[in-house]
A and B are shown apart, each in its own frame.
Chain A
Amino acid sequence: MLKIKNLHAGINEKIILKDINLEINKGEFHVIMGRNGTGKSTLSNLITGKDDYYKEKGELLYNDENLIDMLPEERANKGIFMSFQYPIAIPGVNSMHFLRTAVNSIRKSKGDSEYEPAEFIKVFKEKLSVVGLDESFTKRAVNDGFSGGEKKRFEILQMLLIEPKLIILDETDSGLDIDALKIVSKGIRDFRNSDNAFLLITHYNRILEYLEPDFVHVLLNGKIVQTGDKSLAVKLEEEGYSWLE
């Protein structure tokens, strides 16, 4: 699904990722761990198409298509989704209206029928309860006045409604209390299937207790220096990163 070969990339003329190689296939769950500033978010922003991030060399392919040439909305329409580390508040934009526009844009691009407003309210409320948010969120503006935990739950709610294929979770576990972590993890676990794939960026082993990752990669100084299974995350939590240098 996602193929990254010899990727060198960065932001504003500064190279941050140096020779990344990674392949994510359908049904797989990958985790990237690493110190602050090692390029984890650069990688996710590059995959989703944020301005100012650029590729110097190498390949970034999604279903064998070159991602770099695609607009962010085209990438979303083709099934790429990121749960943001810091979801931005957009006062004045109603959450439900925003999501109906988003879901309908994606459905339209696939040739599927668009949701009527009444039909969407029902689906929206259903997913609100899955992530443990109450119905007042139908009236609230996007992330406006949301607590840290509510923002992360709202990201997962978007994932459930948009039904993407490649899901990047950028520190989705940060700022969540134990109950919220359980709810968010359950949302992710239930959504996981043989047709989609996940790339989770995290600092903590905690969320991995609820999810079953297939691969754990360690990113250090812009390179993947180690790949292992879940036990690698446990080792990192106990010993830190210095043994990898």
Chain B
Amino acid sequence: MKSLSKNALDKLNSYTPIYDEQWKYTKINQFDKFDFNKIKAPTDLKVSDPLLNHLKLENALKNNTNNCRNIFNKVIPNNKNKFILYNTAHLKSGDYFYLGSSCIANKPIYIKNIINKNDSNSFYNKRFFFHFDKNSSATIVLDELHNFKTLSNIVYEFYLEENSNIELIINSNKPQTTQILNLGAKINSNACLKIFPIDISGELIKNNYFINLEKSNSEFHYNSLNLLNNNNYVDNYIEVNHNTKNTLSQINQKNILQDKSKGVFYSKSIIKENSSNSQAHQHNNNLILSQNSMVHSNPQLMIYNDDVECSHGSTTGKIDDDALFYLRSRGINLDNAKQILLNAFLNDIIDNIKNEEINLNIKEKTNSWINNYANKK
């Protein structure tokens, strides 16, 4: 780990910032308040099921558990931004998760990362490494609840071996958090990663997703919700590389914005020359509830092969007046009608989560956010 950190530090010292589209809408200097000299001890994590093997990253690397040295730090593209290098350079601890070959989790596995301490301006440099071995399958819920002001530089790496099938729900509620998340995934043949980032508020959140569909018949599904109010700011950049034939990516993001909040959706799916018979679809829908909120939407396809199926679309608007009138003409009052329509807008994404317990839990949260919106007016 020390040599990795040193190596990253050397790279960082000679790092020349390149213009990269992941920073098109959010200026990198907004994160100048990150002070890597003030790294706090990591928070306590709770993993609900021992089936998902959880070790200190340091120990896993030391013992080369499941050959993790061969893949660790290779899933996330280090050259993409300096915060990934910072993360590796200042790596004092991290967490390693492993799901063994043919391990099938029949119930969801919860990883709870809740910061309840009022440790004002705490800075966390967090690193999670997930390794899913062949034929494994699980639904993992990453509960991230920060009740106080925190700063975080987070790197998640997901390595999916052949035939693994992983659903990851990132359930995040961090109203006062400033965060950069860099998430990398490598997906091998016949493996499928479905992620559901649910961001309910966030002071300044920059999420970068770098996905590599490495082998044939690999799939990536991204279903995300952002519910933003006050001065919340969330920027999602999703880059998917279709590195071979028969690969599929499906990006779907819905945002509701109120007050003075801002959102960014920027997805880039790159279909390389040798990716025949691949599919890439991108959809972004935004509902703007106030005059002062705004969203940038940029669903982008870069296609270097003719034998592919691709689509992209984006809509931004207010609540449909005709739908509101229809509901009101049936005796439903204005506030209630708005709540029904907002919930319906989100349910389209949430209903992709097949586990009923998680599905209902998310709906409860989004519904409570919508009720607060209705009550505030």
Kindly list chain B residues whose C-beta atoms are within 8 Å of the C-beta of A71. 328, 333-334
Task: Select the stretch in B36-44, B160-168, B304-312, B342-350 that faces chain A.
Answer: B342-350
Check A88 against B336 for contact (C-beta < 8 Å): no
B328 and chain A: residue at smallest CB distance: A72
B305-335, CB < 8 A from A:
320-323, 325-334
User: Could you tell me the distance in whole angstroms from the C-beta of A47 to the nearest C-beta in chain B?
Assistant: 10
Q: A91-B344, A98-B340, A105-B336 are in contact. Are A50 and B325 (CB under 8 A)?
A: yes
- Measured CA separation A24–B330 after assembly (Å): 21
Choose among A72, A91, A162 the residue with the greatest number of B CB atoms under 10 Å from its CB: A72
Q: How many residues of A contact B (CB 8 A)?
A: 31
- Measured CA separation A141–B327 after assembly (Å): 13
Check B340 against A91 for contact (C-beta < 8 Å): no
A103 and chain B: residue at smallest CB distance: B331
Kindly list chain B residues whose C-beta atoms are within 8 Å of the C-beta of A142. 326
Check B348 against A91 for contact (C-beta < 8 Å): yes
Check B326 against A105 for contact (C-beta < 8 Å): no
Choose among B331, B336, B337 the residue with the greatest number of A CB atoms under 10 Å from its CB: B331
Against B, the Cβ 8 Å flags (1 = close, 0 = not) of A67-102 are: 000011101110001101001101111000011011
Check B325 against A92 for contact (C-beta < 8 Å): no
User: Could you tell me the distance in whole angstroms from the C-beta of A151 to the nearest C-beta in chain B?
Assistant: 11
Q: A90-B344, A92-B345, A162-B331 are in contact. Are A51 and B336 (CB under 8 A)?
A: no
Kindly list chain B residues whose C-beta atoms are within 8 Å of the C-beta of A109. 331
Q: How many residues of B contact A (CB 8 A)?
A: 24
Check A106 against B331 for contact (C-beta < 8 Å): yes
Residue B341 lies at the interface, judged by CB distance under 8 Å to chain A: yes
- Measured CA separation A1–B347 after assembly (Å): 41
Check A73 against B322 for contact (C-beta < 8 Å): no
Task: From the candidates B332, B334, B341, name the one contacting A101 in the complex (CB within 8 A).
Answer: B332
Check B329 against A49 for contact (C-beta < 8 Å): yes
Residue A48 lies at the interface, judged by CB distance under 8 Å to chain B: yes
Against B, the Cβ 8 Å flags (1 = close, 0 = not) of A136-165 are: 000001100000000000000010001000
Check B344 against A105 for contact (C-beta < 8 Å): no
Check B347 against A82 for contact (C-beta < 8 Å): no
Kindly list chain A residues whose C-beta atoms are within 8 Å of the C-beta of B346. 92
- Measured CA separation A50–B321 after assembly (Å): 10
Kindly list chain A residues whose C-beta atoms are within 8 Å of the C-beta of B333. 71, 73, 105
- Measured CA separation A158–B326 after assembly (Å): 12
Check A105 against B331 for contact (C-beta < 8 Å): yes
Check A73 against B331 for contact (C-beta < 8 Å): yes
Check A90 against B328 for contact (C-beta < 8 Å): no
Task: From the candidates B329, B344, B348, name the one contacting A72 in the complex (CB within 8 A).
Answer: B329
Check B331 against A102 for contact (C-beta < 8 Å): yes
A160-208, CB < 8 A from B:
162
Check B336 against A93 for contact (C-beta < 8 Å): no
- Measured CA separation A164–B329 after assembly (Å): 11
Kindly list chain B residues whose C-beta atoms are within 8 Å of the C-beta of A49. 328-329
Kindly list chain A residues whose C-beta atoms are within 8 Å of the C-beta of B332. 73, 101-102, 105
Check A92 against B331 for contact (C-beta < 8 Å): no
Check B326 against A87 for contact (C-beta < 8 Å): yes
Choose among A76, A82, A87 the residue with the greatest number of B CB atoms under 10 Å from its CB: A76
Check B344 against A158 for contact (C-beta < 8 Å): no
B343 and chain A: residue at smallest CB distance: A92
Kindly list chain B residues whose C-beta atoms are within 8 Å of the C-beta of A77. 331
User: Could you tell me the distance in whole angstroms from the C-beta of A108 to the nearest C-beta in chain B?
Assistant: 9
Kindly list chain A residues whose C-beta atoms are within 8 Å of the C-beta of B330. 76, 98-99, 102, 105-106, 158, 162
- Measured CA separation A93–B348 after assembly (Å): 10
Choose among A50, A93, A109 the residue with the greatest number of B CB atoms under 10 Å from its CB: A93
With A81-B329, A92-B343, A101-B340 known, 8 other A-B pairs at CB within 8 A are: A48-B329, A49-B328, A73-B334, A84-B326, A98-B340, A105-B330, A106-B331, A162-B330
Q: Which residues of A contact B (CB under 8 A)?
A: 48-51, 71-73, 75-77, 81-82, 84, 87-88, 90-93, 98-99, 101-103, 105-106, 109, 141-142, 158, 162
Complex A-B, nearest 6 residue pairs according to Cβ-Cβ distance, in ascending order: A92-B344, A102-B330, A76-B331, A72-B328, A106-B331, A105-B331
- Sample (25) of A-B pairs whose CB atoms are under 8 Å apart: A49-B329, A72-B325, A73-B328, A73-B333, A76-B328, A76-B330, A76-B331, A84-B326, A87-B326, A88-B323, A88-B326, A90-B326, A92-B344, A92-B345, A92-B346, A92-B347, A93-B340, A98-B327, A99-B330, A101-B332, A101-B340, A102-B327, A141-B344, A158-B330, A162-B331
